[in-house]
Structure 1
Amino acid sequence: MIGYVILGTNDVPRAAGFYDALLAEIGATRQMEFGERGYAWGVSMEQPLLCIMTPWDGKPATVGNGVMAALAAPSREHVDRVHQKALELGGTDEGAPGFRGEGGEGFYAAYFRDLDGNKLDVFHYG
Structure 2
Amino acid sequence: MIGYVTLGVTNMERAKAFYSDLLADLGASVLIDMDRIAFIGAGMDSPMLAVCVPYDEDAPHPGNGNMVAINPGSKEMVDTLYHKAIALGASCDGEPGQRIPDMFYGAYVRDADGNKIAFYQFG
Return the TM-score normalized by structure 2.
0.92
Q: 1:109 and 1:25 mapped to 2: Cα distance?
A: 18
SS in 2 for 1:25: helix
Give unpaired runs (5+ residues) of structure 2.
Answer: none
Q: 1:31 and 1:74 mapped to 2: Cα distance?
A: 22
Q: Aligned-residue CA RMSD in angstroms? A: 1.4
Offset at residue 12 of structure 1 (A): 0.4
Q: How many residues align?
A: 123
The answer for the alignment partner of 1:70 in structure 2 is 69
Cα deviation 1:84-110 (Å, max 9, x = unaligned): 011001100011111111xx7332110
Q: 1:114 and 1:27 mapped to 2: Cα distance?
A: 20
Cα deviation 1:41-77 (Å, max 9, x = unaligned): 1122111111110001121212111110011111111
User: Percent identity among equivalent residues?
Assistant: 41
Q: Which runs of 4+ in 1 moved over 2 A?
A: none
Q: 1:122 and 1:42 mapped to 2: Cα distance?
A: 16
1:82 counterpart letter in structure 2: L
1:108 is matched with which residue: 74, 80, 105? 105
The answer for the alignment partner of 1:12 in structure 2 is 12
- The answer to whether the 8 A contact 2:16-2:30 is kept is no
